[in-house]
Structure formats: structure tokens, C-alpha cells
A and B are shown apart, each in its own frame.
Chain A
Amino acid sequence: MEAIGLSIVDWIIIIIYFGFVLGIGVYLKRYTTNQEDFFLAGRKNSSWVAGLAFLSANLGALELLGMTGNTFKYGMYVAHFYWIGAIPAMLFLGIYMMPFYYSSKINSIPGYLKLRFDEKTRVLNGIAFAIMTLLVSGINLYAMALVLHTFLGWNWDVSMWASALTVAIYVALSGLMSAIFTEIIQFFLIWFGLFLVSVMGILEIGSVNEIMARLNQYSPDVSLTTLWSSSIDPTKNGMHVHWAGIVLGLGFVLSFGYWTTDFLVVQRAFSAKDLRAARMTPILASFFKMALPFIVILAGLIAIALSVDPKSGFQLLQDSGQVNYDSALPLLIARYYPPGLTGLGVTALLAGFMAGQAGNISAFNTVWTYDIYRAVINRNASEKNLLWMGRVSTVGGVLISLVTAYWAKSFPSIMDYMQAIFSWVNAPLFATMLLGMFVWWITPAGAFWGLVTGMVSSFFMYLAVKFEWIHQSFITLSSIQSDMAANFWRAWWAWLICAIVTIIISLFTKKKPKEELIGLVKGLTQEIDDRNIPIVKKPEFYAILSLIVFILLNILFW
């Protein structure tokens, strides 16, 4: 790959950004006086602050380079990750699950498992989450290094270490508080820095309709421009996936598993000032989530439209003979952005990666400190000791992520890697949480062994396909499939196995008394009395609005 030079103005903008986020970490340190400030940002955020941070924590490498690259690879189907693969789950979290999470005053998702089931289920999930978080964190570092390597010509090692240390400093200084502050700044920089790519692409090609027409002309038999109309036959869409795989694997298991149980995003809602703000957090975020395809998916489609036109001179980079799909967005920035804007574009990418990285690290330090360190290693830890451990685990987590970044580098596309990890951990956890929250007779033994079986089976399916012990069609129920389709289906089977094992074991093991489950399980908990609240202030009102927009978008791009 060749480095793309930056002008002095670009450098100034990048340096201002780094100085700004580090400065915020230093500025907020004086307000981080106890463990609640460090791990939960003092529980004083409005729904807007928590909502934007909720979304921004998810705006890591996955959402920017990965999704644009995947759109180049799979076409419009990648938009499913933003719509059916996110919105129903976010609304379900806000309406149904948040009251149990927020009202029980837990510090983390494993903390809920401890209250609902027992200590061993909590520790199991805590360890699995910690490992997953550090692996995902490695992807963020890898993607950051790709940008720095592509644009600045830095080598991988220097890029990863420079980016990681910046995040380590500001998160270690003031924990979730600085992570949320910087995530919101990053949210705006991402929009201002990257939306212009889509605007310029449309200006160059002519219109969105012209982009779609070029794609249909380039690929008349395999649709790259539709969402559902080509999903009955997997051979007719770019992702080679059947609609059932999208609905069951992505729309149900992977999506609900991520958005309702992944502490990385849910932690932002825990920082809200009251229950209403906590419920509004994912609902507000859902509107912005639905808008993101106008940055990443549209940019990916523009990249395809340009690459099939020889006159445009646009081609993705090649890395050791392999097409580097993740280079699509950086190359579009280089194509359209003059000096100054290039600096903003690079800053937007860096902001995305650092938001994702900080999100992972702040979630990791909380789960490590509360659910592993205090639960297993030092049960009598003082507040001061926990605060100290939060800072130490921040630095330790960043160092471990550096190691995992090199593993991420070996995958052809970072998105496939990410989905593989989610289907190991989040998919079975969602079955455990769903059953635990809505069925009172699910037992601690059922939850624990269901979770173990679900995780092991998902991992086994991944290995079995990777080492060709079984053919992938055995999992995807189709003779033609992609890695992405395999991820969807593997998540579905892991969820199903976990749910069945949990139910069967629960039927034969000792149940918890109902009085211990009040506030934790639906049916045993008093419903929220909101009869006197005006309808326009109810979270349900905004959830219905969001649902209407979601349905309209799916019809529009059917």
C-alpha cells in the first residue's frame, strides 16, 4: 500500500483532536472522586447524552471501515445490520428490559445474572465478556492502524501503540465519564467528517438512482441494491443468505444478543439520571442508528459504482494480492477531500475507532473490577481499592488488546471476525437473559449449564467449519453461502441450544423462591405507573415513531 500524504493543515486538525480528547480526560479527572463516577459517570446523564454515547460506543471500526468494506463485498444487504439488525432490539431494550436493569441498581450485566441466578453464572459471563471485549478491542486497534498506515505511512506497530496509549490515558484518568464525553464529541466529528463523502459521491455520479442503476448494470443476476426482494433465493443476493437467516440469525439472535445484553452499549444507559432517561437512551439512539447507512452503506455503494467505471480511476488497494475491502472509505476520502477536509476525514475515522476502543475498555474495566476482581479475587475491596483497580485494568486491558490486534489482522474482513465472536458469547447469553427476565421458574443450574452449552456449541460449530470437519451447508441449510450467512445461522443454533438446555435443566432443578425474584422478573415486578404522564413524554411514543420510520425504510429499499 502507498501512503497518502497529509498537508500541514491536516496535521493541525489531527493534533487538535488528540489534544482535545486528552485535555478532556485531564479536565474531568477532578470530578472523578469515587467508583460511581469512574464506572457509571455518576449516574447523572440526560437521555440525549446517554443516547448519543450509547450509539457512539458502537461506532468503532465495525461501523466505519468494516461496514463500508462489507457493502463493497456484499452490497446493500449490509444495511440489515443497521435496521432489522438493530432497531427492534434497541426498542425492546428500552421498553421491556431496561426497567429490570435500571431498577435493580446493578453496575453491570453480569451483576444482573448474580441477582437473578447465582455467582457462578455471573463469573462465567464476566470472564466470557472480558475475553470478547478484549478481542473486539483488538479489531479497533487493527482498524486504527490501517487508517494510519494508509494515510500516513506509519508502520503497524507504531500505529497501534500510539492510538492505544491515547485511549488508555483518557479512560484511566476519568473512566466512563471521559469515555462518554469523548464519545459524544466523536459522534459529531464522525458525522461531519464522513457524511461529506456520500454528498460528494452523489455529486460526482449524478444521483442515488444513477448509483443504483450502475450497480444493477454491473451485477444483473446478483442484486446489490435491494434489501428483501432477492432474499428468497440466496444465489440472487450479494450476501448469499436466505431471509430466514437474516430474520432469525441477525434480526433476532445476533441483534438482540448485542443490543440488549452487551455491556459495552448498555453501560451507557446505566449512566442515565433516572429510569425514564435510561429507557429513552436506546430509543433516541435508534433514530441516529437508522441514519448511519447514509454514511457507510452509501459510501460503499459509491465505491462499487466508481470501481466498475474504468474512467473513474478508482480501485481498492491490494494487500498481498488480496483485495482490501476496508480501504474503500479511506480511498474515497483521499479522492474527494482537499487539504483541511482530509484532516477532518482522518480525524473522523480515528474518532470512530477511539470511541469504540474507549467503549470496550471502559466496559472491560467495570466487568473486571466488579464481576471478577471483587467477586473472586478480593471480596472485601475498599472503594479506593476498586477505583485503583479500575485504572490498572484500563491499562492492562489496552495492553492485551494490542496482542489481539495482530490476530484480527489475519482475517480477510474485520466484520466476519466480529460476527464470529458475537455468536460465541452474545447469542447464548441472550437466551439466558430472555428466559431469566421473562420466565420465573428458570433455575440457576439451568442458566449456567445452558450458557456453557450454548457457548461451547457455537465455538465448536465455528471450528468444525473452519477445519472442514463438517460442511458449512450443514449449518446454513443452503448449498450456497457466505461467511456472513454462516455467522447468522451459527448464532441462531447457539441461541436455540442454550434455550433448550436451559429449559430442560430448569424443569428438574431447584427453583429460586419467588420473593427473591421481585424486581428481576416480569410478572413478579410491579408495572410502571405512567398514567399521569402525557403521551408525548412516554418512551413508548418515541418507540412507535422509531418503528414507523424503520418499516418505511425497509419498504423504500425493499
Chain B
Amino acid sequence: MTDHVGKPIWYFVGLILVIMGGIIFVTGIYLFFRPTLTTTVLAETHPNLWWGGVMILFGVVMLWKVRT
């Protein structure tokens, strides 16, 4: 899929994971300081922070793998 297409598919995967993971992570920081805004079950574990972080990490690895 890379021979005739400018960017490989893995670039797009990395990009969207970094963007979405970044938004979720930043939201997690905001909710960390305003915990009363969250009413979901297990909100005290701050899933936005660690899951957003995992997404960013995965996305960065993919972008790094396809760097030119």
C-alpha cells in the first residue's frame, strides 16, 4: 500500500491515535482537578489519563516506525 501512495497507512493510524489520545489525556488532566464533573463508575481511577497515555505512546511508536 505504500508503493503508489504518498503516506503509508501506519502514518495515518499513528496520527489519529496521537490526536485522539492527546485530547483524552488533556481531558483527563482537567477532570483530575475537577473530579465532581465525572459521575461514571470507577471515575476515581482516572481512566482518561492512563488510557489516553497508552494511545499517545502507541501512536508515537507508529509514527516513529514510518519516519522518513
Contact = CB atoms under 8 A, between A and B. Distances in A.
A553 B28 CA distance: 36
A1 to B, nearest CB: 19
Interface string A156-196: 00000000000000000000010011001100110010001
Given A42-B4, A196-B47, 8 more contacts: A16-B16, A20-B16, A42-B3, A44-B1, A338-B43, A339-B31, A340-B23, A341-B47
B42 A203 contact: yes
A184 B5 CA distance: 15
A196 B42 contact: no
Contact of B17 (A44, A192, A341): A192
Nearest to B7: A27
B48 A192 contact: no
Contacts of A337: 40, 47
Contacts of A46: 1
Contacts of A192: 17, 20, 51, 54-55, 58
B61 interface: no
Nearest to B46: A338
Contacts of A334: 40
B66 interface: no
B51 A341 contact: yes
B16 A185 contact: yes
B42 A13 contact: no
A209 B45 CA distance: 22
B40 A45 contact: no
Contacts of A31: 4-6
A336 B47 contact: yes
A196 B52 CA distance: 11
A339 B51 CA distance: 13
Interface string A8-42: 01001100110010001001100100000100011
A200 interface: yes
Interface in B21-42: 23-24, 27-28, 31, 37-38, 40-42
A494 interface: no
13 contacts: A12-B23, A17-B16, A20-B12, A27-B6, A31-B6, A45-B1, A189-B16, A189-B20, A192-B54, A192-B55, A334-B40, A338-B31, A344-B24
A28 B40 contact: no
B20 A181 contact: no
B17 A204 contact: no
Interface residues of A, number: 39
Contacts of A49: 1, 9
Nearest to B19: A16
Nearest to A7: B27
A340 B42 contact: no
A538 interface: no
A445 to B, nearest CB: 42
B27 A181 contact: no
Contact of A181 (B12, B47, B54): B12
Main secondary structure of the interface of B (DSSP, over half): helix
A335 interface: yes
Contact of B1 (A41, A185, A347): A41
Interface centre among A17, A24, A184, A344 (most CB of B within 10 A): A344
A534 to B, nearest CB: 24
Interface string A324-354: 0000000000111111110010010000000
Main secondary structure of the interface of A (DSSP, over half): helix
A339 B46 CA distance: 11
B17 A188 contact: yes
A9 B23 contact: yes
A488 B3 CA distance: 43
B9 A184 contact: yes
Contacts of A188: 13, 16-17
B50 to A, nearest CB: 10
A341 B16 contact: no
Contacts of A189: 16, 20
A340 B1 CA distance: 32
Interface centre among B5, B23, B48 (most CB of A within 10 A): B5
A20 B43 CA distance: 29
B51 to A, nearest CB: 6
Nearest to A180: B1
Contacts of B17: 188, 192
A27 B19 CA distance: 19
Contacts of A180: 1, 9
A47 to B, nearest CB: 11
Interface in A197-221: 200, 203-204
Contact of A9 (B27, B43, B54): B27
Contact of A339 (B1, B13, B20, B27): B27
B40 A336 contact: yes
B40 to A, nearest CB: 5
Contact of B48 (A16, A181, A184, A341): A341
B1 to A, nearest CB: 5
Contact of B41 (A27, A177, A185, A200): A200
B19 A340 contact: no
Contacts of A344: 20, 24
Nearest to B52: A340
Contacts of A336: 40-42, 47
A125 B9 CA distance: 33
Contacts of B9: 49, 180-181, 184-185
